[in-house]
Structure 1
Amino acid sequence: MMSCGSGARPGPSPRMRGRPTFQDVLPAPTQPLPRFSVEIPPPDLSRWRGGNCGIPGVIHLEATRPGPHVVLTALIHGNEYAGATVLDTLLRDDLRPTHGRLSLIFANLDAFARFDAANPVASRFIDEDMNRLWCRRTLNGPRQSAELDRARVLLPVIESADILMDLHSMLWPGAPLILAGGAESGRRLSAMVGDPPLIVSDHGHRAGPRLIDFERFSAPGGQAAACLLEAGSHWDSGTVTATQQAVHALLRHSGLRPPDRSPPAAAPRHMMVTDIVTAHTPRFRFVKPFRGGQVVPRRGTLLAQDGPDEIRTPYDDCMLVMPNLRPGRGQTAVRLATSAPDPAIRNGA
């Protein structure tokens, strides 16, 4: 089990080993995904597909006064288009930064073009997950795929970013949150944005590094910072609203938009992932449909069965981060997090 943070986990491993049975090695009966409701239509991005800087799907907006290079990325996953809806609105409203440069990236337009409301999960990517590719060895290697080739095209913009927010949403219901990654710079950025007010620090996925884990944003002592917004359910109208709020908060924080004159928001809640629970068998099942952000008060509470193994909360007040209610073998089923109070991050220390 992967541990995060500088110290030991505050409890035992969540996995309680059982003895395999004959049934555990048999293929699991297929559990179809539920029928998901698509409340928001995909935006018409045809005006932005060509870009304005020589890179398709990338729009650069320059101010006359100096400032940071802020990058907003949407459609890293082709069926998560709430972020693209917000970026489309900003462009149609003729957004102009007051300082620095703002780059808006529509990342996986080819996967997005395949979106079908009758099967909305099918257009997440074409060949592979674009959010598991962000390391030098992969990007500079010989392998090719639709997503990897596109990541290489976008790389010059990513490498010049001072601040980046990657806009995502969730398949399963959960509270909006900001994933800060494992770098101190990401935690500071997330706390200063503060909307949504739930921040989760983690160290990514075993399957490969995310965009916010790229060395530009995660190198020790580096000045560039990135965070990832999980704004709510993929095709829910409230997800667009949550994305708008987070984007405007980021632009105000970074100085690209005028500051907000409203009273300061309450300090965000900061959680630290301690365990990543991976499905070891095709028979992983939660005992009930948990929601992301749900806090389980008692240590030892049964969460799931994975073949012969039981998955239990390893400590009191354990938060479930983005449970995947239908994980395949080898996929992340849930991340477990504990409170990590750190007012120094809020103050930018």
Structure 2
Amino acid sequence: MDAIASLVQGSAAPELPRFTVELAPPDLSPWLAGNTGVRGFTSFAAPRSGPHVLILALIHGNELGGAIVLDAMLRSKLRPTRGRLTLGFANLDAFARFDAENPIASRFIDEDMNRVWDQATLDGPRRSRELDRAREIRPIIDTVDWVLDLHSMLWPSDPLLLCGEGARSKALALAIGTPGLVVADGGHAGGRRLIDYPRFTAATGDAASVLVEAGQHWRTPTVAQMQASVTALLHHAGMLDAGPDTKTTPPPPRFAEVTRVITATTGRFAFVRPFRGGEVIPARGTLLAHDGSAEIRTPYDDCLMVMPSHRTGRGHTAVRLARFS
């Protein structure tokens, strides 16, 4: 179970703050049937050959920004000039339960859909709403060349691209280039993400998958960052008629690799102050948090804080520590 969902369902952790919801969920009813045989997935092929690109939203049902971006793309009748473009809405059942008065509660129904993407789980006997849906989506995942998975974050953080551990996914993230921070990591103790799916991390093959954490949930700038990341990927894939405006080409992104994933081992994990994701801690040995009686300190100078969670349950990721290269 996700740490935040655990809190919502009544753990003894401190009460969450009330979050501002600036976005309204889009009407996805025109796109539910799709044209792929998988509910909520629509695919368009161009006459010219090229990569098969999947843009994915709603792995978490309460992350509205991705749904807004894909809805706008479908309404605009965007078509690729080469290759195949597939647009998909993943956790539609959780999305249907979104309530702005309790926006955290619809992240998932039974379990986090972004923790089930290992072969043993997908091929095993266990059942849940999210796992069954992942199995429905899997045949499409097994055909694509590149995936851009659209996400947002609960706590304040600079946007970033996560590329997992695969070299091809790192190259794709650097080619997308926006947001301007790329982070490679090995994922979570609680399960494998879509970007960790073996097809994208295997030593052989061409497929790659990138996850964009575009900003805070339910905020307008987050949608704009998602749109920028999608546009950059489509330009990179040669799917748009016009190339990017070289006058506004951003500088190359910075790259950092996670060296330590801090997982809470007690129910009393607490940061010493409200760190922001993307914050760089200058000095090695700086105290970051207490996990019960244990101290968590920076392992090196210029330590990057990746997505600190300020309400962390036991067994869940509290923060990832990364080093620039």
TM-score, normalised via structure 2 length:
0.95
CA distance in 2 between partners of 1:205 and 1:153 (Å): 23
CA distance in 2 between partners of 1:107 and 1:329 (Å): 27
**Corresponding residue of 2:185:** 202
CA distance in 2 between partners of 1:124 and 1:78 (Å): 5
Deviations 1:22-58 (A, max 9, x none): xxxxxx9530110000011111111111112221100
**Corresponding residue of 2:17:** 34
Q: Is the 8 A contact 2:256 2:323 kept in 1?
A: yes
**Corresponding residue of 2:4:** none
1:106 aligns with 2:94: no
CA distance in 1 between partners of 2:188 and 2:237 (Å): 28
Q: Is the 8 A contact 2:13 2:267 kept in 1?
A: no
Shift in Å at residue 262 of structure 1?
2.2
Aligned ranges 1:1-349 → 2 under 5 Å: 29-258=12-241, 259-263=243-247, 264-340=249-325
**Corresponding residue of 1:24:** none
For the residue of structure 2 that corresponds to 1:207, the secondary structure is coil
> Which segment drifts farther, 93-102 or 217-226?
217-226
Runs of 4+ in 1 over 3 A off after TM superposition: none
CA distance in 2 between partners of 1:261 and 1:34 (Å): 41
TM-score, normalised via structure 1 length:
0.88
For the residue of structure 2 that corresponds to 1:47, the secondary structure is helix
CA distance in 1 between partners of 2:152 and 2:23 (Å): 13
Give the structure, 1 or 2, with the largest relative contact order (CA under 8 Å, sep 6 or more): 1
Deviations 1:180-205 (A, max 9, x none): 11000011000001011100000111
How many residues in Structure 1 have an aligned counterpart in Structure 2?
313
**Corresponding residue of 1:16:** none
CA distance in 2 between partners of 1:335 and 1:161 (Å): 29
CA distance in 1 between partners of 2:77 and 2:33 (Å): 17
Q: Read off the aligned partner of 1:309 and give its amino acid letter.
A: A
RMSD over aligned CA atoms reads 1.0
Q: Read off the aligned partner of 2:101 and give its amino acid letter.
A: A
Deviations 1:107-134 (A, max 9, x none): 0000000011111100010100100111
Shift in Å at residue 148 of structure 1?
0.6
Shift in Å at residue 265 of structure 1?
2.3
The share of aligned pairs that are identical, in percent, is 57
Q: Read off the aligned partner of 1:75 and give its amino acid letter.
A: L
> Which segment drifts farther, 42-51 or 86-95?
42-51
CA distance in 2 between partners of 1:316 and 1:265 (Å): 27
Question: Structure 2 unaligned runs (5+)?
Answer: 1-10
CA distance in 2 between partners of 1:53 and 1:315 (Å): 48
Q: Read off the aligned partner of 1:289 and give its amino acid letter.
A: P
The structure whose Rg is larger is 1
**Corresponding residue of 1:23:** none
Q: Read off the aligned partner of 2:274 and give its amino acid letter.
A: P
Q: 1:29 to 1:139 in 2, by over 3 A?
A: closer
For the residue of structure 2 that corresponds to 1:270, the secondary structure is strand
Q: Is the 8 A contact 2:189 2:316 kept in 1?
A: no
CA distance in 2 between partners of 1:109 and 1:339 (Å): 37
**Corresponding residue of 2:7:** none
CA distance in 1 between partners of 2:188 and 2:258 (Å): 12
